[in-house]
């Protein structure tokens, strides 16, 4: 048996890589983990966590407005972007410290440098210009926002990476894309007082979600004052003398804004990683191709998280890391389970969802019962806010199993986590009906919708 410097070398210190490295080290494996930027990865450093902090910040103007109906009168509210960003950065640094501390306590060696593959068992630490060997290598290098090179003038645009560090808040912004990031940032910027336009090429925002959620959120966003241009593409971007941007749109109009943010998907970080030298195969967008155990085309090299372009979500990367540990170190080959992943869009209002949309369910099941409620939540009564909440259960008529649960409204993300358990456990509508309501809450609606709002048979709505 050849001797290696390490049992495991992890390339990439994001959610997936850190989890795998930490757990392997705590099991007594000799682990090194290399990170060229900051430990914590996209989620902690320039993704989920800072995004959620900005979401909280952007919700205050609505809280201030709502307060009046509850008897509060407030003075003029002021907002300072620089304070928010500095406080956010402090929190991110604290979290990065926790990630590092966890690795250190577990006994993993952290390498603050870029690492690339040389061959099946050898990694080069680029900045230190030395090589090390490892029995197993785990690639968890994540992805980055696509900078859309096909768009002439795209070099004038920012992505979510830069949005977290803008020197000042722009007066106006256009955001290209209709996915999670575009929608979340449109709400953040609008909430902070920026004139915001979303430019989306499709027929409705948030392609993979239930249509009621998509339409409901679209309406809520427009009611707040966010402009949404559907069936529209940015054709080119020109920078004017005054620094503003002219965006030529596919409908022949020109949109002039202070900033353009691209949120048109993310690209796996695989360039220059030495994958070819090691014999690791990649797919059409540069993603590492893996089998159901996250094993690459080279049997001792594994890949997890966004670099594999499977499901780009932090909890999924962490789950894949734990499956890797089970497979490689616990003699318990385990495949990640991607079924019924609960997820949230931190828009305003939020979307929380798990399982099949009505459209996807009607493709797979002969007859569905759809339970749908649309109402103004109690908290909006005294505030006078007109925003509606939508709750929807998609049920297989034959087995009564709840196939999908979808919520638009306050705290929908929190609800999705709990609904995720029910849908994952394949509970039926009868189980929901037997569950006592928690009163008065918005979520009690989920267990008190006794009659289907309508049925869907062979893809057709039937009353």
> Site residues (CB under 6 A) for ligand NDP?
176-182, 184, 200-202, 207, 233, 263-266, 312-313, 343-346
CB of 166 to ligand NDP, least distance (A): 18
CB of 168 to ligand NDP, least distance (A): 24
Residues annotated catalytic, as ranges: 439
CB of 231 to ligand NDP, least distance (A): 10
Cβ closer to ligand NDP: 209 or 432?
Answer: 209
Cβ closer to ligand NDP: 179 or 355?
Answer: 179
SS3 sequence, the chain?
Answer: CCCCCEEEEEECCCHHHHHHHHHHHHCCCCEEEECCCCCCHHHHHHCHHHHHHHHHHHHHHHHHHHHHHHCCCCCCCCCCHHHHHHHHHHHHHHHHHHHHHHHHHHCCEEECCCEEEEECCEEEECCCCEEEEEEEEEECCCEEECCCCCCCCHHHCECHHHHCCCCCCCCEEEEECCCHHHHHHHHHHHHCCCEEEEECCCCCCCCCCCHHHHHHHHHHHHHHCCEEECCCCEEEEEECCCCCEEEEECCCCEEEECEEEECCCEEECCCCCCHHHHCCCECCCCCECCCCCCECCCCCEEECHHHHCCCCCHHHHHHHHHHHHHHHHCCCCCCCCCCCCCEEECCCCCEEEEECCHHHHHHHCCEEEEEEEEECCCHHHHHCCCCCEEEEEEEECCCCEEEEEEEECCCHHHHHHHHHHHHHCCCEHHHHHHCCCCCCCCHHHHHCCCCCCEEEECCEECC
Cβ closer to ligand NDP: 233 or 322?
Answer: 233
Cβ closer to ligand NDP: 201 or 224?
Answer: 201
CB of 177 to ligand NDP, least distance (A): 4
CB of 91 to ligand NDP, least distance (A): 18
Cβ closer to ligand NDP: 110 or 345?
Answer: 345
């Amino acid at each position: 048996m050849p001797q290696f410097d390490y049992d495991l070398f992890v390339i990439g210190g994001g959610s997936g890589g850190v989890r795998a490295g930490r757990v392997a080290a705590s099991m007594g494996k000799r682990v090194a983990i290399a990170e060229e930027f900051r430990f914590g990865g996209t989620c902690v450093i320039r993704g989920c966590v800072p995004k959620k902090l900005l979401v909280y910040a952007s919700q205050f103007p609505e809280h201030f407005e709502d307060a009046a109906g509850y008897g509060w009168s407030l003075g003029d509210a002021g907002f300072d972007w620089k304070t928010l960003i500095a406080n956010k950065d402090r929190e991110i640094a604290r979290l990065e410290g926790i990630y590092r501390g966890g690795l250190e306590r577990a006994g993993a060696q952290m390498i603050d440098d870029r690492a690339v593959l040389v061959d099946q068992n050898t990694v080069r630490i680029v900045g230190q210009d030395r090589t090390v060997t490892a029995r197993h290598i785990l690639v968890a290098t994540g992805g980055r926002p696509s900078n859309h090179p096909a768009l002439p003038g795209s070099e004038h645009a920012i992505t979510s990476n830069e949005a977290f560090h803008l020197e000042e808040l722009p007066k106006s912004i256009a955001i290209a894309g209709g996915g999670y990031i575009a929608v979340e940032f449109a709400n953040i910027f609008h909430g902070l007082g920026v004139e915001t336009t979303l430019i989306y090429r499709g027929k409705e925002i948030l392609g993979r979600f239930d249509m009621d959620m998509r339409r409901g959120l679209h309406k809520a966003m427009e009611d707040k004052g966010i402009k949404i241009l559907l069936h529209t593409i940015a054709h080119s971007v020109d920078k004017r003398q005054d620094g503003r941007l002219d965006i030529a749109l596919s409908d022949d109009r020109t949109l002039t804004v202070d900033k353009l943010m691209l949120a048109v998907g993310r690209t796996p970080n695989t360039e220059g990683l030495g994958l070819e030298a090691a014999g690791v195969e990649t797919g059409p967008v540069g993603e590492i191709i893996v089998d159901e155990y996250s094993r690459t085309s080279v049997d001792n090299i594994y890949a997890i998280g966004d670099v594999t372009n499977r499901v780009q979500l932090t909890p999924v990367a962490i789950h894949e890391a734990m499956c890797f540990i089970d497979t490689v170190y616990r003699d318990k080959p385990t495949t990640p389970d991607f079924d019924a992943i609960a997820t949230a869009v931190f828009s305003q209002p939020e979307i929380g969802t798990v399982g099949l949309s009505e459209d996807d369910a009607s493709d797979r099941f002969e007859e569905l019962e759809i339970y749908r409620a649309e109402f103004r939540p109690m908290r909006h009564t005294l505030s006078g806010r007109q925003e509606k909440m939508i709750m929807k259960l998609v049920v297989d008529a034959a087995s009564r199993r709840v196939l999908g649960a979808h919520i638009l409204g306050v705290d929908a993300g929190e609800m999705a986590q709990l609904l995720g358990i029910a849908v994952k456990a394949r509970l039926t509508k009868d189980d929901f009906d037997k569950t006592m309501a928690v009163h008065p809450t918005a979520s009690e609606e989920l267990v008190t919708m006794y009659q289907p709002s309508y049925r869907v048979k062979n893809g057709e709505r039937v009353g």
